[in-house]
Each structure stands twice: as structure tokens, then as C-alpha cells.
Amino acid sequence: MGIEIRGINKFFGDFVALEDINLSIPSGQLTALLGPSGGGKSTLLRIIAGLESSDSGTVEIEGVDTTNVPAQKRNVGFVFQHYAAFKHMTVAKNIAFGLEIRKRPKQEVKDRVQELLKLVHLEQWSDRLPSQLSGGQRQRMALARALAIEPSVLLLDEPFGALDAKVRKELRDWLRRLHDEVHVTTVFVTHDQEEALEVSDSLVVINEGRIEQIGSPDDLYDRPASDFVLSFLGPVTRLGDHLIRPHDIEISRYEQAATATGKISRWTRVGFEIRLEVTPDDTLHPDPIQVVVTRAEATALGLHDGDQVWLRPQAGVEPVRG
Amino acid sequence: MPSRIRQPKTAGTYVRRGLVITYLFLLVAWPVSLVVKHTFDGGLDNLQTALSDPDVVFALQLTVYVAVWAVVINTVFGVGVSLLLVRYNFPGRGILSALIDLPLSVSPIVVGLALLLTYGSTNGLLGPSLKDAGIQVAFAPLGIILATAFVSLPLVIRELVPVLHEIGTDQEQAARSLGAGPWQTFRRITLPSVKWALVYGVVLSLARSLGEFGAVKIMSGNIAGQTQTATLSVEEKYQDFQQGTAYATSFLLALIAVAALVVVSVLRPKESPDGD
């Protein structure tokens, strides 16, 4: 059940947008499609919604083969990056749209719209036009509009991509809580790994039209299947023969058994953390090594810009791959 | 987003304004106002004379009839072609887009001749067979409608195309995902979004249709009381030394067109500061 995707291929001319995609998305979960721009994740989402057709392969939603079902009959809620608000309709009318198309009784539509306005905290705004709302409010309205039709799956295409950082964060938390409340099978596309790790139950990493890895946020972060997944989920740096996360490096001012040694050549403080660049003395490392420590650690270790330091992976951390 | 430049007014500002106003006055306002002035030279006499001439009354009625039909045809056709041009990619799209502008660039006389060659009832390509089927095109109202529709064809399309581009397909796709079929999407989403562009295109089309002369002159045969439209009647009366009637008819023609433009600009909502 949920969404079953089998053997999906999609070409735009010579460009391979999706190549032999097989994916099973379980019911009731929040799944993120994560990957760089142009990697095919939005195309996959639009194929699930029926807004785009695949060149081969099948899509099943809740056990029904929808491959040849037009978008308007799939009962799929879709939320667009740029809201796609109906500009000439009030917020309430926007939300009521899907229900009016389905010719539900007036009173039922009214009650349902009230319920949804409450759910997305827009009760005060029901008679406004979308142009009178902020970006975050518009996207909440779009979400309510998609939920109004009680969709079998909810699809969100970079839903917070057009919002500023603070509103993004708020909406992200809110989406997670909403999902815990509504429990509709949800798939959302994002290129922001933090957003994906924080919100989703499971992650699908897509790059260059192929699935790189599927798993829980922990799986992907701790056991990435490829260098691509490793580097896409967070910053990495090369220490010796291995790629490692900058915060998994032990740094010391005193000589000790080390993978690399060199001078701190750059010191950037960002909030509570300090990002260091160490230029190694040996020629094994062509690039500077990135190290991240907290401010407290830096003070405890007595680190200063320009110090000679010794670096090695922290105990218990397995450098992922060579 | 502000589209106006805000800066302190200098002497140059007033010189530039003066130039524009003088230009518009000499080219448009003054000549047109002279028509009005001559119409009312002897009080309402000219208008009364004109409106008591059955040929003039017939010509005005025919003009309105023809213009309304031409506008209806151009609206339906224009909306269809605009959607085709903007929403679909097909071979020959560029050529079609260029062809749409042809009626604006070709002299209406040429349009008239071309239509006559096609629909003329004796020598035309399609004319004789249509006549056998009982349909008279050339030298009949149908032919006049055809000529008028041809000439004003691009106006609705040229208003709609940029707006359709601007609104994009997001709203239409959202409507589809919410269960709306193609017709519902068109009626509830696309049409309301382009409403004002369409109204404006229709008004421009109407104004252009009311004033068409060259193509109609050739296609209609210009028979007073039968196929003579208002513009043709103005020319005839003017050459017949009935200038008063010619001015009065001109005045009425201009009045309808101006009234339509005024009504639209009053109805049209102010550009909202936050368009998206």
C-alpha cells in the first residue's frame, strides 16, 4: 500500500530525467525526496501526481494503478513551491475549490473550510485575497486547499523553498506536527538536507535521475551508501585516505599519534561553533582540512589561529569510505 | 514594484511634458475635436439630418451588427489561439504566431481583395460553391463580417498572450490536482485570471471593427441601404457635399468607440501593488 513506483523512466529529449526508478513509499509516513536541483526529484513527484507522464513504468497509489489516470482523478493533494494560489479567490474560496468541484453540499463545504482554516491558523484571514497574505500564510493556505479534498497522498514540491529562513523553520516544525495529527501519506521534495533530516520518517536520495539510497535519517547520516550521499547530507572533509565529517575530527595542540598535522590557517566563528581550516604540512592532502569545534572546546583546548595542530578521527568514529 | 521614476521636478521635466502634450494635441486631440465642433456647428441640425437619412441609420445599424459578430468570432477564436500559442508546443508554432500579426501589417485593401478572390460569388475560389449552397458571402453582411474579423483578429490575441505567459501554469495545475477537468479549469481559473486582458482586447477589437474601411469597402460592394457600413457612408456623404451628415456620422462612430474605452478604464481595477 502507500505508493508503489515501478520501472519509471523519463526523458526530456536526450536528457535522462529519471532512470529505472523503483520505490515503495509506505502509508501514513512522511517521506522526503532529497537531492540536488535538476536531479529528477520534482519530476518524480509530478509523475506521482499525474502532472507529468512517465515514458515507461507504473505508479500505484493505495493499491490502485494510476499510471493512466489523469491528475484530476487521482485524488492527490499537491502543494507547489510558489503556492499556486488562485489569485482571484479569497482564502476560503481557495480552500473550498476542490470540494466545490466535487459538488459537496454547501453546509458541508462551509464546515470543512472552517475546520481547515483553524488547522492552518488562518481563521482571521478567510476573506482576504492571497495577495494580502505573507508567503508563509499563502503556503499554509495552499496546504489547507490540498488537504480539503482528503487526498490519499499529499505531495509537496519544495514547499518552503520560496520562504525566508525563519519562516521555513517554523513551517517545517508545523508540518511535522500537522503530519502527526493528520497522518496522510506525505511525500515532499527538498534540496535542503537539514529540512529532510529533521522532518521526515524516511529519506530517498535522488541524484542524476537515479536513487542513491533509501533509509531513515539515521541510516543515511551514519551509514551513507556512497560518497555522494555522505557529502550531500552534511559537510565532509578528507583526512588521510578517508572522508570524514568536520566535527568528527579530534584536534590537539600537542604532538600525538595523528593522521595529519599542520597550521590553523583560517578561523571562522559562526554562532556557537568555530570552523577551522588546517593546512597540512604533508603533500598527501592537497586541500586544507575542515574541522569544526564548539566554542567551549576551542577554549578548553587553548586553540588559536595559526597554531600547529595534530588531527585524527575521534575515537569511535569510523571514517566512512576511502 | 514601482514602475515610475521618482525624482525632483526640474525645468526639463516641464519641457518634456510640454512636448508630449503638444504632440498629442496637434496629432490627436485637436483634429478629433474639430470633428466634434463641426458636428455641432448648427446645433443639433447635423445629427438630426443624419439620423433622418434612412441610409445613414441603416449603415450605423449594419456597422454595429457587423462589429458585434466580428468581436464574438474574434473572442472565441482569440482565446483558443492564445491558449494554443502559450500552453502548447507544436511544429509551426512560430509561423502561426507570425501569421497572427499579418492582418495588422497588411493593408486592409489587400485583405479585401484577397477575401474577394476566395469568396467572390462568380470568380472566387470558394464563392460559387457557397452560393450554390445558398450562402452569399461577398457583397453581403457575411462577407463584411469576415473582412472585419480578419482585420481585427490579432487584437484579442495580442492582449491575452502576455498575460497567459505571466500567470503561468501553476494555478491550472493546482486546479487539476484538486479535481477540476479541463473545462472547469478554464472557466474557474484561466478565464478569471485573464478577464481584464480579454475585456481590453474585446474593446480594442470592437473599436477597430467599428472603424474598418478598406477591406469592407471592397468586400461589401458599398451599396447604400444594403451593404454600406457607417465608415463607407461617411466617405460617400462627404464626397456628396453632405459634410454635415458625414461629420455627424463620424462623431457617432467615435462616440461608441470612446465610450467603450472609457467604460473599461473605469471598470478595470487599479494595478495591485503586490501582483503575486
Give the DSSP per-residue string, B212-236. Answer: --HHHHHHH---TTTT--HHHHHHH
pLDDT tens, residue order, chain A (322 aa): 789 999 999 999 889 999 999 999 999 999 999 999 888 999 999 999 999 999 999 999 998 999 999 999 999 999 998 999 999 999 999 999 999 999 999 999 999 999 999 988 999 999 999 999 999 999 999 999 999 999 999 999 999 888 888 888 888 888 898 898 888 999 999 999 889 998 999 999 999 999 999 999 988 888 888 889 988 888 888 888 888 889 889 999 988 888 888 999 999 999 889 999 999 888 777 788 999 999 999 888 888 888 899 998 888 776 565 4
Same domain, A254 and A115: no
**Closest-CA distance of chain A to residue B83, Å:** 18
Give the CA distances from residue A202 to residues A56, A199, A212, A277, B239, in Å, rounded to whole numbers and listed in that order: 26, 9, 14, 33, 85
- In a domain, residue B114? The reply is yes
What is the model's pTM? 0.81
Pair A207, A82 in one domain: yes
Q: Is residue B246 part of a domain?
A: no
CB burial class (10 A; 0-12, 13-18, 19+) of residue A231? middle
Distance of alpha carbon A122 from the chain centroid: 25
Q: Is residue B169 part of a domain?
A: yes
Residue B217 lies in a domain: yes
**Does residue A318 sit within a domain?**
no
SS3 state at A243 = strand
CATH assignment of the domain containing A270: 2.40.50.100
Unique residue bearing C-alpha cell 512517465: A54
The answer to whether A290 touches A246, Cβ cutoff 8 Å, is yes
Give SS3 for B72.
helix
Nearest CB neighbour to B178, from listed A87, A88, A97: A97
Total domain count, chain A: 2
A138 with A214, same domain: the answer is yes
B236, part of any domain: no
Tell if the CB–CB gap between B272 and A142 is shorter than 8 Å: no
**CATH number for A83:** 3.40.50.300
A105 domain residue, yes or no: yes
Same domain, A72 and A211: yes
What's the grid cell of residue B125?
A: 475560389
Contact A142 B174 (CB under 8 A): yes
> Does the distance separating the beta carbons of A80 and B170 come in below 8 Å?
yes
Sort out which chain B residues have CB atoms less than 8 A from A102's CB and list them. 179
DSSP-derived letter for residue B126 is S
Q: How far is CA A139 from CA A128, A130, A135, A142, A206, in A?
A: 14, 10, 6, 5, 25
**CA distance, residue B274 to nearest chain A CA (Å):** 6
Q: Kindly provide the b/e burial profile for residues A58-94, where b requires at least 16 CB atoms within 10 angstroms of the residue's own CB.
A: ebbbeeeebbeeebbebbbbbbbbbbbbbbbbbbbbb
CATH of the domain at B117: 1.10.3720.10
The answer to whether residue A205 is domain-embedded is: yes
Note whether A77 and A156 are same-domain residues. Answer: yes
Q: Do A97 and B180 touch (CB under 8 A)?
A: yes
Asked if B173 reaches chain A (Cβ–Cβ under 8 Å), the answer is yes
* CB-based contact A62:A2 (threshold 8 Å): yes
Domain for residue A25, yes or no? yes
Residues A224, A249 within the same domain: no
B96-114 pLDDT per residue, tens: 988 888 888 889 999 999 9
CB contact under 8 A, A72 and B188: no
Domain end among A169, A194, A229: A229
Distance CA A172, CA A228 (A): 25
**A204 shares a domain with A80:** yes
If asked whether residues A22 and A127 sit together in one domain, one would say yes
Domain assignment of residue B106, given as a range: 61-224
Quote the cell numbers at residue A106: 454547501
Q: Are A88 and A131 within one domain?
A: yes
Query: Per the domain annotation, does B20 fall within a domain?
Result: no
ipTM of this complex prediction, to 2 decimal places: 0.83
User: How distant, in Å, are the alpha carbons of B51, B106, B139, B226, B244 from that of B222?
Assistant: 19, 21, 8, 8, 20
- B179 in contact with A, Cβ within 8 Å: yes
Task: Tell me the one-letter amino acid at B260.
Answer: A
Per the structure, the complete domain to which residue A130 belongs is given by 3-229
Same domain, A172 and A82: yes
Could B192 and A72 be called an inter-chain contact, meaning their C-beta atoms sit closer than 8 Å? no
In a domain, A123, yes or no: yes
> Is residue B110 domain-resident?
yes
Same structural domain for residues A246 and A224?
no
Separation of alpha carbons A178 and A94, rounded Å: 20
With respect to residue A159, please indicate whether it lies within any of the assigned structural domains.
Answer: yes
Tally of domains in chain B? 1
One domain, residues A150 and A14 = yes
Which chain B residue lies closest to A48 (C-alpha atoms)?
B177
Whether A107 is in a domain gets the answer: yes
